[in-house]
A and B are shown apart, each in its own frame.
Chain A
Amino acid sequence: MKIKVFLFGIAFALVSNFAWAGCSFTNVTEVRSLTNSFDAWKAVTEAMSECGNVTATLDSEFKDKQPDAFAANPSLYEIGGVSGSTITPLLNAGTIRPLDDLVAKYGQNLNPNQLIKIDGKIMGIAMSVNNQHLMYRKDILDDLGIAEPKTYDDVLAAAEKIKAANVVDYPFGGAYKSGWNIAEEFVNMYLGNGGDFFGDGNAPAINNAAGIKSLETMKKLTAYMDPEYLTSDSTYAQKQMQQEKIAMAYLWATRAGAMDNAEESKVVGKIVMASAPMGDVRPASTLWWDGIVIAKNISDAKADAAFKVAMEGLDTEMVTANNDDAVWLITGYQPGASAAGASATAANGAAPYPSGSRMGVMHSALGNGVPEFLTGAKDAASTLADIEAAYISAAKEKGLM
């Protein structure tokens, strides 16, 4: 009996040692993280766990949990996984700490591009960028003699030809689901057309020519989409492309890898990643980033350990093993064909997503209001007027106006 326990102990120790092989140090302080659950975060948290004593929580509802978890004293998590917009509630509440000295101590492998600076202080470390761009079936467009669409007018013309040729169920697809997704589509289109969201004193300013043009372009696109577009999110549209139901799609760059996933996709090697179509002023897209932040309500020793662990999670070894999971900003990333759309969109001058308290309220108002135009319940001007009224009502309630 004792021999069995002894042998089991040796086996366990060997296994555990093997698991720690990927990390350059052994972590002894307990470090907990709360992040989103898509593939890139799985890769990062697995790399972090190799250091030992790391508990990673991956939850797609993380943004509902983070503000309160980080406001607790002591904070419930040391490391938080955030994006360009979900860092805002943590910044506003002052529950994340500046990382300047930690970066000086441990951040030698970081690119300057990765340092998220707010008011001169480093508040987060970005690991990847993301944006929405065009993806299309090269074989179908070549067959019909259509050049790569550069503007939405090109996309609409191409869609008309594809519809006439009747080679797929629907020429176009996108994440047009009511709520956050459709609002994001409008934000992209509106910024592409050069619109500003706010005027003086946080007043809304979307009821203008750019706003109406954006709505009308979206409506024209929906004529070429699956009629149930208001229920389809990114995953649904991705599957439509994978299953040859659509010829062109406007999706997140992180979906590009899935197109070449032989286990699910029927269109491996046939999809070209292209820049987001140009609006009147810039590409109709917004730049997002994902990265980590460190909580403020923890001891400095814990913050030290957490940052070291996070650096291990964001190192070159992790990127090399998971190259196509995201458009990484970390050294060692080899941008492949799947990153071409994201980089072209950024190179063409897409704007970053304008996150802030008032943008959060506007985004919600858009999510409920834009579908009313697309279903034909209201015309463009009254849709935008009603969205502005909803925004004003909510903003006043929140104290923003």
Chain B
Amino acid sequence: MKKKDFYLFIIPSLLMMFFFIAVPLAIVFQQSFYITQNVFQEIEVETCTPGFLKQICKTEIQTKPKLDLNGNLIKVSIFVGLENYKNLLQIEKLKKAVFNLSLNEIENITFWKAFRFTFTFCLITLPLVISLGLLIAITVNNLTQSIKGPVIFISLLPFIITPIIGALAIRWLFVGEGILTSFIEFFLERDIALFASAWTLEILMIIYRVWHVAPFAFIVFYAGLQTVNKETLESAVIDGANRFERLRYIVIPHLMPLIIFVSLIHLMDSYRVFEEIVAFSSQAYVISLQWLTYDFLTPDDTGNRLINRASTSAMLTMVGVTIIILPLLKRTWEDYREGKL
């Protein structure tokens, strides 16, 4: 293809990526180095609100934002350098906590509590998703043709369900006197409260995420299984390789590029874990980096939003996800260079 045609093809995508991804990213990056605030003044105000039968009037000094001549709120942006990052990362406290080798102390810093959960969530769900996806793909591949279709359909269903709905469904099954909790209580003959401790919540979230994403891994691996070289498999059978040896030496190496692909996608997706935190109302026990950014952006009753801190948290999330997928990207790049791709 001529260079000119190539550029004409990709210019629209490049433009959209520039305006909708690169520019907002640059703006968020810039916002993380500033603090935007209203200018406040202290004035004495008398406020009269209804008591039950009589009004209650209180005079007190209140801090109110100043308005300019047009009646708009005055906003100033102050450059603060790395101040936002320092406030979020709390390096001094972190050093002390690491020195004391105390996980508890590390988790007392909000950012690192979110980071710890996000990190372990990614690393635990990854092998589970890959192995479950592979298991389902190999099983379905060996089914008789007549029931393959319905089974594939049913296996894909968890992925189609909107994450927040699926997570809410899990919540209702397990919270309080939910059906499955009552079932487990019946068997163990004791009361359990799955939503009252961090580790049970994390396990529920991992179970939900694996159930939700495994179909994606399944369908990618299933497609890959269709292209396994049949002759190689036959000669392996003739040479006396059993099922596991065939899997290990032929199928998995063949699927390796797809496994790396699914791992990349899954790591990027699971790093953004958010719906589970919201659906399980777990913010007292378990929080994630994405949820932390959202919490900063949620206005309180009086309309305050911590936009600059949210920008900082978003930038740190991006740094984290880049670091976590770096090994896989490196592997993909090496495969490409060696011509394996």
Contacts and interface: CB of A to CB of B under 8 A. Distances in A.
Interface of A: 63-64, 67, 71, 84-86, 88-89, 91-94, 112-120, 126, 129, 177-180, 182, 202, 226-231, 236, 287, 289, 327, 329, 342-343, 346-347, 352, 355-361, 363-364, 368, 371-372, 374-375, 377-378, 386, 393-394, 397-400
Contacts of A89: 299, 301-303
Contacts of B302: 85, 88-89, 92, 355-357, 359-361
A375 B284 contact: yes
Contacts of B19: none
A287 B51 contact: yes
Contact of B49 (A126, A347, A394): A126
A226 B176 CA distance: 8
A393 B63 CA distance: 17
B335 interface: no
B110 interface: yes
9 contacts: A88-B302, A113-B55, A118-B46, A180-B301, A182-B284, A342-B52, A346-B52, A359-B301, A399-B76
A20 B116 CA distance: 60
Contacts of A227: 193, 196
Contacts of A289: 49-50
Interface string B297-308: 011111110101
B113 to A, nearest CB: 10
Contacts of A329: 50
Contact of B73 (A93, A126, A361, A386): A93
B248 interface: no
A100 B193 CA distance: 54
Contacts of A394: 304, 306, 309
A304 B54 CA distance: 28
Interface string B27-66: 0000000010111100001111111111111100011110
Nearest to A124: B49
B301 A118 contact: no
A397 B35 contact: yes
B195 interface: yes
B37 A399 contact: yes
Nearest to B193: A227
Contact of A398 (B37, B53, B67, B280): B37
Contacts of B76: 399
A236 B51 CA distance: 28
- Listed from nearest, the 5 A-B pairs whose CB atoms lie closest are A360-B302, A89-B303, A399-B37, A346-B52, A371-B284
Contacts of B146: none
Contacts of B301: 63, 85-86, 88-89, 180, 355, 359-360, 363
Contacts of B65: 92-93, 357
B108 interface: yes
Given A92-B65, A397-B308, A115 B48 contact: yes
B309 A360 contact: no
Nearest to B75: A399
A352 B55 contact: no
Interface in B216-248: none
A117 B46 CA distance: 8
Interface class of chain B by DSSP: mixed
Nearest to A374: B284
A377 B104 contact: yes
B199 interface: no
Contacts of A372: 108, 284
Q: Which of A129, A179, A231, A359 has the most CB of B within 10 A?
A: A231
Contacts of A342: 52
Contacts of A327: 52
A243 to B, nearest CB: 9
B29 to A, nearest CB: 18
Most buried by A among B40, B76, B193, B309: B40
Contacts of B194: 228
Contacts of A361: 300, 302, 304
Q: A67, A119, A361, A397: which has the most chain B beta carbons within 10 Å? A: A397
A360 B50 contact: no
A357 B108 CA distance: 27
Given A346-B52, A357-B40, A228 B284 contact: no
Given A94-B71, A400-B40, A368 B283 contact: yes
B18 interface: no
A85 B104 CA distance: 36
A363 B299 CA distance: 11
B79 interface: no
B282 interface: yes
A113 B54 contact: yes
Given A178-B283, A375-B284, A112 B37 contact: no
B63 A202 contact: yes
Contacts of B52: 129, 287, 327, 342-343, 346-347
A48 B193 CA distance: 46
Contact of A352 (B38, B49, B283): B49
B47 A117 contact: yes
A7 to B, nearest CB: 46
A67 B49 contact: no
B300 A352 contact: no
B185 interface: no
A178 B281 contact: yes
A228 B195 CA distance: 5
B278 to A, nearest CB: 11
B183 interface: no
Contacts of A117: 46-48, 55, 57
Contacts of A360: 300-304
A315 B9 CA distance: 65
Contacts of A71: 72
Nearest to A202: B63
Contacts of A64: 298-299
Contacts of A91: 64
